[in-house]
Structure 1
């Protein structure tokens, strides 16, 4: 186990697992809250430290991996999946949930058959989707109409690609900006407000309801 964060549900289990992929800010308190929320709802939640100690070179590799869909960051994501799947209190079925930068990783990893379901939250949509969605798992996606980073036209393109492969999906666009599901403390809170991002409680609550319903449908099946 690396320097990631693990949240375990109460009870005997076994439980389905969820790999939680952080945004560009890294392992913040918000990541721990996301994991805790998933655990409260019956999921083993593990957030790997994608920046591997914050090494600047590693950070650069992570962003390059987001563009290429390959590299050490995806090795860490696969390792995180294996950490959960091989636990005695895990059913063996594991989803991925990502936010912002992590949402892009979740989209790519979920599109390559690495997980049983994916929760993609305002992740950037790759230009060449057919090359990314080679073996797409079921997807629940949440995006914002006021997002200045992810164009709605790209979200539409993503939805159409999922439809073309008959992939089960639930894509919803909220009246909200980028980052609306997250509730960062200082110093991140001030920084994201300058960029027009902020937490939207009503949209976040609805999105989490959809995510949990979707995970229950697609993870509570035989391994």
Structure 2
């Protein structure tokens, strides 16, 4: 799983939640290559290009999970914000289920999604950073015949599944202007959708040789 930068504690809580639901969970830090500014820039470039250390780290994590003696052999990927964008991009790379939460859509959407595993996605209707993303994603997945459950929560904003406003103090006024805030009413439903999706696709042992 992957999340936004400067969100280590929140990422651990997300991981703890999945672990408590019975899943072997690995939180991948995609922002570890250098200082804060350098790692953010390099990670963004990696997402745009579709190559780089971030994708290598995610592939390594999938291999570790699938070969662990505690694993069923099936693996899922989940991401939030930028991590959601990565989850969408790697959904075709051997995963059995993907959860995309207010993730950036790839520029070549259908090309990037072709061959993806089943996807559950949560977006906010008041997310000014991703206007129309839910409808575009659902249309592309349907067109490719990929099982999906995409929902837009009408009154929620970007990062509405956060359990607290953990942005740096200097960024919090900007977040308020953009309407970025937790939504304690929508978040439980979004999490339930994720857990239902993973239960459906991950709880049975893999039949792959």
TM-score of the pair, normalised by structure 2: 0.89
Aligned to 1:149: 129
The range that moved more, 140-149 or 41-50, is 41-50
Note if 1:193 corresponds to 2:176. yes
C-alpha RMSD of matched pairs (Å): 1.7
TM-score of the pair, normalised by structure 1: 0.84
CA distance in 2 between partners of 1:80 and 1:40 (Å): 19
Alpha-carbon displacement from aligned partner over 1:132-191 (angstroms, at most 9, x marks no partner): 113110000000000011111x32121111111211111111020000011245454762
Alpha-carbon displacement from aligned partner over 1:73-110 (angstroms, at most 9, x marks no partner): 10011111122112111111110000000000001111
- CA shift, 1:194, in A, is 4.7
Aligned residues: 201
- CA shift, 1:57, in A, is 3.2
Q: Secondary structure at the match of 1:155?
A: helix
CA distance in 2 between partners of 1:51 and 1:78 (Å): 16
Q: Secondary structure at the match of 2:90?
A: helix
Unaligned 5+ residue runs, structure 2? Answer: none
Alpha-carbon displacement from aligned partner over 1:197-221 (angstroms, at most 9, x marks no partner): 1110111000000100010001123
Contact 1:85 1:94 in 2 (8 A): yes
Aligned to 2:102: 122
Aligned to 2:199: 216
Note if 1:21 corresponds to 2:10. no
Aligned to 2:38: 57
Unaligned 5+ residue runs, structure 1? Answer: 1-19
Change (3 A) 1:107 1:167: same
